Structure 1
Amino acid sequence: MSNSTYSGQCFCGTVKFRVSGTTEGMGYCHCESCRSWSASPVNGFTLWNPESLEITEGEDQVGEYHKTENSHRKFCKKCGGHLMTYHPGMGLVDVFSAMLPELEFKPGLHVHYGERTLSVPDGLPKFADLPKELGGSGAQLAE
């Protein structure tokens, strides 16, 4: 895992933030919600303790959308650029890997692989939903 400080910003640069410390994990999410939100077949995530995150500029421009209570998605009100997703049940915040350009992205697993639209044969564990410690079944799928 990483142990440093990384900065990110929305698409237009109005909202700026930084995360510091150690990531709780990195991987790929294949759930329908992440695919739809990111307009991509898979979404790279980096999980952080919420205390590791600081909005440094434009906090008044951060909007929030809850499709479900599992994910509180944050975006810039000015440009619509995606920022991060709070996962209250996990007690973690997902700062999308693309939002942290200086962070070396080292994924360790795939989650919600049972919902995939793109197969990724990379040798990483592929969970049907989530690992047990994150509230899932812990069931793994073959590549």
Structure 2
Amino acid sequence: MDQKVYKGHCFCGAVEFTVTGEPDAMGYCHCESCRHWSAGPVNAFTLWKPTAMQITRGAENIDTYNKTPQSSRKWCKTCGGHIYSEHPGWNLIDVFAPILQNFSFQPAIHVHYQESVLRIADGLPKMKDVPKEMGGSGISIAE
């Protein structure tokens, strides 16, 4: 069975990668850390198993920033473009949805919605933090 392969790259193209298959989850994160890192009011995420990603060019150009032990944020040393984040406690990586070429982003959830600075009335579930199975409270909140 052929799996889909999606290509992505940093802002300048010095770092290129692929992800294979389909993500474990897709959604929007409203936490302060994601908002500041993405420089936007909300972050569109796709969560993948680490084995799904392959750096195909420019691995030596990737640097890491750790604000907390929960996330290792990866970026290009040439352009500063954000590429992905590793979440070792979840055994997942977060590839920023907008940098995946020809990828059909289909969000299913909003996480950390209590921190939202941009309310989005789209009918998707809104979580106070993250689902219980990911170590959160599992509490849903209103749009």
Does the pair score TM above 0.5? Answer: yes
Instruction: Mark the runs of 5 or more structure 1 residues left unpaired by the alignment.
Output: none
Matched residue SS, 1:22: coil
Percent identity reads 55
Tell whether 2:55 aligns with 1:55.
yes
Tell whether 2:75 aligns with 1:78.
no
TM-score, normalised by the number of residues in structure 1: 0.97
TM-score, normalised by the number of residues in structure 2: 0.97
Q: 1:11 & 1:23 partners in 2: Cα distance?
A: 22
Q: Where in structure 1 do 4 or more consecutive aligned residues deviate above 3 Å?
A: none
Q: 1:58 & 1:43 partners in 2: Cα distance?
A: 24
Aligned length: 141
* Counterpart in the other structure of 1:13: 13
Matched residue SS, 1:65: strand
Matched residue SS, 1:28: strand
* Counterpart in the other structure of 2:24: 24
Q: Structure 1 residue 17: deviation in Å?
A: 0.2
Q: 1:49 & 1:73 partners in 2: Cα distance?
A: 16
Q: Structure 1 residue 4: deviation in Å?
A: 1.2
* Counterpart in the other structure of 2:120: 120
Q: 1:72 & 1:31 partners in 2: Cα distance?
A: 16
Tell whether 2:108 aligns with 1:129.
no
